[in-house]
Chain A
Amino acid sequence: MKFSISAEKFFNAVNKLSYVVPGSSHTTLPILSNIYFKLDSNKLRMVSTDLEAFITTDLNVEGTEDGGVAVPARKLLELLKAMIIKNESVSVTEKYSSDSYGLLNAEGLVPELNLYSIKYDNAKGTLVYRGSIPEETFEGLKEEFRLFKENKGTIAAEDLKTALDDLEKAVTALGKSAVDTFKKTTEKLKIKFESNDKNKITVNSKNGKYQFFGEPLDDYPLPQDKTELSRIEISGNRFKRFIQKVKHSVKNDEIRRNMAGVFIDLRKNELRFVATDGFRLSKIITSEFSHTNSKDENFILPIKTVDLIPKIVTDSSLVMEFDNMMIKFTIDNFNVYSKLIDDTFPNYESVIPKDNDKKLLVNRYDLLSALRRASIFTDKVTMKVKFEVIGGELTIKSDNPEIGGEGEETINCDFKTNSGDEISDAFSIAFNVSYLVECLSQIDTDEVIFTFSAPAKASILLPVASMNEENFMELIMPVRVG
């Protein structure tokens, strides 16, 4: 087998395929630590699997000799990474006002940009990025900004807020140009890959020549393509976002398998993503998708696949084809095959209360930051915090009898009945603080709505209505006190 390909394209594919490759000590089937390579004229088929999921892709290459080999995945990935990082780095700049930067800096509000190889050039008034594989870097930065904003809460001063928003925009633009530039430079770097009939692999680049051994392809397991599958198409970004919103509620153990994944429920022209671990439940709904048949269908996507798909998703659309046993995702030139959980998801609709008559409206940042402080004083085992609402005040109490500490903080809120009447009676309810923080973090709006009925009954968290086109909701079961 002989072919040549751009380093960027090759690295990108090997990188994605590696997500399912089990570590060599985690499999009894050593062949799985390899990636399947098979060249048919100009088409290179690559497959990787841990037997639960398969990733396949077809790359266009300049092929000179057909053939196949199973290539040690980690070794190849390391090699490609080292080749790219060592030789190819980009340097891009983006304008950002030095006044704004100074303003943020003075308030200690600049995120840790330098950790992401971004520096600020005061003289030129530009953000400077120098590095390689910018895609990963800027993906991480997105999350950094999100957390940063959340931690700092609402910044009251308009000018600071604008400066921070502008900074985020500038960094995003910087990222885009870095990725584009990087693509262009690495595309130029050609890699020649060949293997002989003794499975000896040779990788040639302008740096030099590396040789190592692969395995014969014979025993490599391949996914089975099926016909007569149902088909759903949805935007890749939307899918990724929805998964992100609900997956923290997935039950993370093997005991109740029917909850160990995200339930994707297609009914009445709505596509619902639901996850629960029996203590909380997250649900989000969209109608922005297309599907082949009109009947209601559903499946449970195992958590491993739930974690995998967002890493492969791109801006383009995502196609899911499934029956009741398996699912096949198509994302650009990648396919992911996964088993589905062969079990019945709990009847989630019946447990979502409809009679929660008390409504608490509170600033999400204020609440989150209060909870972060309170959690320092919760008992580390039960993680319990108590809400006490009376009139326009929400008091958050935590105590830890072990260290003898306690915390109490009061923030403003709006507490009314569903019909909008003031509630004069005090109401108190306790929660596991880590559940609360996880759920609150997935709500995008500045304010959050809680609905309650009784201290031992489920309470619901919602983004403010006007912003909640996707019907996102979360449900948390309280902790009974005493």
Chain B
Amino acid sequence: MDNKIKILPQNLYNKIAAGEVVGRPEAVVKELIENSIDAGANEITVLIKDAGKVLIQVIDNGSGMSEEDAIVAFQRHSTSKISTYEDLENIQTLGFRGEALASIAAIAQVELKTKTVSDDVGTVVKIEGNEVIEVSKDSLETGTSIAVKNIFYNTPGRRNFLKSNQTEFRHIYDTFIRQAVSNPNIAFKFFNNEELIFNLRKTVLSERLKELFGEEFANTLIPITVEHSVVKLNGLVSKPGFTKKSKQDQFFYLNKRFFTNKSLNFAVYSGYDDLIEKGDYPSFFLFIEIDPKKVDVNVHPSKLEVKFEDESAMFGFVRKAIKETLRASNITFDIGFSNTMSFENTPDNLEHKKPDVNFTPKGFNSGFNSGFSNSPSTPGTSSIHSIFEASRRDDLDSGNDNASGIPLNSEEGIQKNIFEHKKDEDEKFNLWQYQNKYIMCETATGLMIIDQHAAHERVLYEKALLRLNSQSAFSQQLLLPIKVKLTKIDYQLAKGLQEEIHNLGFALKFINEEVVEITGIPADVKPGKEEKILQELIDQYKEYEISLNLEKRDNLAKSFSCRSAIKAGERLQHQEMFNLIDSLFASQMPYVCPHGRPTVIRLTTEELDKRFSRS
């Protein structure tokens, strides 16, 4: 009887393995760009034709290869990147499995041109279906150029599985973007059917994002840098209020390697907390740097997934980092005219022009009063100042007239009365109400426009939440305890969370391995189905391991603040506006309302000057 089990011939094996590494043209692009990056290139050109189905070519100015290396490179598990197991534990390069080139060579016609600095002439290697067809010498620039033609030419089955050109192009495009984002120090060119799509210069991340996504979008991001003993997080995230309806622009990199991880995405999202509306998602470009030993990137050949040694610690770290950054930064919304403006950006001056988020006077964050009283008007604004001054007078006059019926000539007296000790500070800024809807406020650097409803909402929301949480330990005891059957795991979890659940206002009795009895519920929030609320709390904890909070309570605070806040159309007196702004900037997050919409927009003098072509 014949033996049935055989060792597969090399090229058949490679074709099968190629399926894992090279699922679609996009994977070729990714592998080749990563190789170029690993080769130390600082200029990379990507050319594709017919969405990569006909040609994918990547040209770099990296270290190049010698003739011997160039041939060996196409054999499976040949790599220059690691050589021992210890190296695998400590991966610094993007590639390391030694599969890519072999896999690509198995399913396409490949032409490799390469030259090292030390060699005088370069090497040209042509391979088809893993067979070396030609090796020759040519005079070449230092670096490597790999052209991958007619992908899947010898596996028609796979070729048929390719999607439409648009779809395949979209994938390649996404991959290119991911690489371009993580390597702003590398110049990229990207040609599609000979049309130049991107021509990216060497720059810094924030400028790279402007080139890739447009200046307007890039200006809605704020930088984040948080360091911890073993892990470092930096990058850019959406300002609250500029979040999107899709999760499209979410980029996570681990040691420069793009990856996806649902739990970390949620960590970012939850870091926004009440700064984001349900159904909105923040955009982010975040780079995690961590000791390679703490992660496993070798989960799948595509390396899209990573495993962290301590997943929940990472979650907590990211969430906290986002939360603190957002709370600490001044995220006032600027009125941007950038879409109508064109600047000749040179890499040189771009270096200084980091996203303009900290231009407000120092001390502004510490409170409205100090921020304004400490910042004298700059000479450039003096003329505007006087205009605003005049309009304020008019406004105040009519306001007093209408509301209090006090004769005009007593205005000085009223001013004194109302402001008393605040008088000095008051004279330093102008407030007036626009269409009974917005509060205009002159600042040292421009004009601040405040949505009175949104601002008041924020103030009331924080108050309400504070109050609700301070009342939270009060628990209305139940006459008829409600028995809830949990799974054994949930039961243990609930037991572990006993104290937190208690602090939310629940009273629980643990009956046996799976049955919990609810004997008290929060006195303020009367949940409909108590057992459902409990289950939700446990699920919430299980999924995200974040501290428990009652969504109902939060919603209560939100709806309370929305209901009670002054509406658009209500006339405000000067003192009322003053107080509102004062308490707005005393709140924890003055820049967005509890639903995630902006409260404050600023128009800088600089911007106005530009609009009026003053320089």
Say if the beta carbon of B474 comes within 8 Å of chain A.
Answer: yes
A20 to B451, CA, bound (A): 48
Task: Return the CB mask of B460-482 against A: 1 if under 8 Å, else 0.
Answer: 00010001101101111111100
Q: Is B528 an interface residue (CB 8 A)?
A: yes
B44 at the interface (CB under 8 A from A): no
Is A278 a contact of B475 with CB atoms below 8 Å? no
Chain B residues near A281 (CB-CB < 8 A): 479
> Which A435-482 residues sit within 8 Å CB-CB of chain B?
456-458, 475, 477-482
A278 to B463, alpha carbons, bound, how many Å? 31
**A432 CB to nearest B CB, Å:** 7
Residue in A255, A346, A457, A479 whose beta carbon sits within 8 Å of that of B476 in the complex: A479
Cβ of B523 under 8 Å from chain A: yes
Contact of A253 among B478, B479, B528 (CB under 8 A): B528
Report the minimal beta-carbon distance from A243 to chain B, rounded to whole angstroms: 20
B470-505 interface code vs A (CB 8 A; 1 in, 0 out): 110111111110000000000000000000000000
> In the complex, what residue of chain B is closest to A259 when comparing beta carbons?
B480
A455: nearest chain-B partner, CB-CB: B477
Cα-based distance from A255 to B521 in the complex (angstroms): 16
Q: Quick one: given A381-B524, A382-B524, are A401 and B471 in contact (CB under 8 Å)? A: yes
Among residues 424 to 473 in chain B, which have CB atoms less than 8 Å away from a CB atom of chain A? 463, 467-468, 470-471, 473
Assess A351 versus B523: contact at CB under 8 Å? Given A479-B474, A480-B474, A481-B473. Answer: no
> Main secondary structure on chain A at its contact with chain B?
loop
Q: Determine the residue in chain A with the shortest Cβ distance to B532.
A: A255
Cβ contact within 8 Å between A276 and B528:
no
The contact of B523 among A346, A384, A401, by CB within 8 Å, is A384
Q: Are B467 and A402 in contact, CB atoms less than 8 angstroms apart?
A: yes
Q: Which of B471, B479, B556 contacts A279 (CB 8 A)?
A: B479
Q: Which residues of chain B in 501-525 are interfacial with respect to chain A, using CB atoms and an 8 Å cutoff?
A: 507, 520, 523-524
Residues of A within 8 A of B473 (CB): 480-482
B529 within 8 A of A: yes
Q: A255-B529, A382-B474 are in contact. Are A401 and B467 (CB under 8 A)?
A: yes
Evaluate contact between B523 and A479: CB separation under 8 angstroms: yes
* A401:B470 contact, CB within 8 angstroms: yes
Q: Most B CB atoms within 10 A — which of A278, A280, A382, A402?
A: A382
B464 closest partner in A (C-beta): A402
A480 and B480: CB pair below 8 A?
no
CB-contact partner of A478 in B467, B468, B477, under 8 A: B477
In chain A, positions 237-253 with a C-beta closer than 8 Å to chain B are 253
Verify A278–B478 contact, CB threshold 8 A. yes
- Considering only CB atoms, which chain B residue lies closest to A351 in the complex? B479
How many residues does chain A have at the interface if contact means C-beta atoms less than 8 Å apart? 28
Q: Within the complex, what minimum Cβ distance (angstroms) separates A37 from chain B?
A: 43
**Do residues B479 and A458 form an inter-chain contact, with CB atoms below 8 A?**
yes
Question: In the bound complex, how far is the Cα of B528 from the Cα of A276, in angstroms?
Answer: 16
Q: Closest approach, in angstroms, between the C-beta of A478 and any C-beta of chain B?
A: 6
Least CB distance from B536 to A in Å reads 15
A/B pair count, beta carbons within 8 Å: 69
B480 x A278 contact (CB < 8 A): yes
Q: For B556, list chain A residues within 8 Å (CB).
A: 381
Asked if B523 and A477 sit within 8 Å, CB to CB, the answer is no
A346 touching B480 by the CB < 8 A rule? yes
Kindly name the residue among A281, A351, A381, A383 whose own CB sees the greatest number of chain B CB atoms within 10 A.
Answer: A381
* Residue of B whose beta carbon sits closest to that of A276: B479
Of B477, B524, B528, the contact of A456 (CB 8 Å cutoff): B477
In the complex, how many angstroms separate the beta carbon of A341 from the nearest chain B beta carbon?
16
Q: Give, as a whole number of angstroms, the nearest-CB distance from B461 to chain A.
A: 13
Instruction: Name which residue of chain B comes closest to A253, CB basis.
Output: B528
When the two chains form their complex, are residues B477 and A475 in contact, meaning their CB atoms are under 8 A apart?
no
Give Cα A280 to B477, complex, Å: 10
Q: How far is the CB of B564 from chain A (nearest CB, A)?
A: 11
Question: Cβ of A477 and Cβ of B470 under 8 Å apart?
Answer: no
Determine the chain B residues whose CB is within 8 A of the CB of A332 once the complex forms: none
Check A379 for interface membership: any CB of B closer than 8 A.
yes
A280 touching B476 in the complex, CB below 8 Å, given contacts A381-B471, A384-B523, A401-B470: no
State how many angstroms separate the Cβ of A443 from the closest Cβ of chain B. 19
A379 touches B467 (CB 8 A): yes
Residues of chain A contacted by B479 (CB below 8 angstroms): 276, 278-281, 351, 458, 475, 477
Question: Are B477 and A480 in contact, CB atoms less than 8 angstroms apart?
Answer: yes
A168 to chain B, nearest CB (A): 36
Residue of A with least CB distance to B503: A482
Distance (whole angstroms) from the CB of B531 to the closest CB of chain A? 11
Output the nearest chain B residue to A400 by Cβ-Cβ distance. Answer: B467
Structural contact, B478 and A477, CB atoms closer than 8 A: yes
Residues of B within 8 A of A477 (CB): 476-479
Task: Name the distance in Å between A459's Cβ and chain B's nearest Cβ.
Answer: 10
Taking a contact as CB atoms under 8 Å apart, the answer to whether A480 and B528 are in contact is: no
Contacts of A278 in B (CB 8 A): 478-480
Supply 24 A–B pairs (Cβ within 8 Å), ascending by A.
A276-B479, A279-B476, A279-B477, A281-B479, A351-B479, A381-B524, A382-B474, A382-B523, A382-B524, A384-B471, A384-B523, A401-B467, A432-B476, A432-B523, A456-B477, A457-B477, A475-B479, A477-B476, A478-B477, A479-B474, A480-B473, A480-B475, A480-B476, A482-B473
Which chain B residues have a beta carbon within 8 Å of chain A's beta carbons? Answer: 463, 467-468, 470-471, 473-480, 507, 520, 523-524, 528-529, 556
Closest 7 CB pairs of A and B: A480-B475, A382-B523, A477-B477, A381-B524, A255-B528, A402-B467, A346-B480
Q: 5 other contacts beyond A279-B479, A351-B479, with CB at 8 A cut-off? A: A381-B467, A384-B474, A402-B463, A402-B467, A480-B520
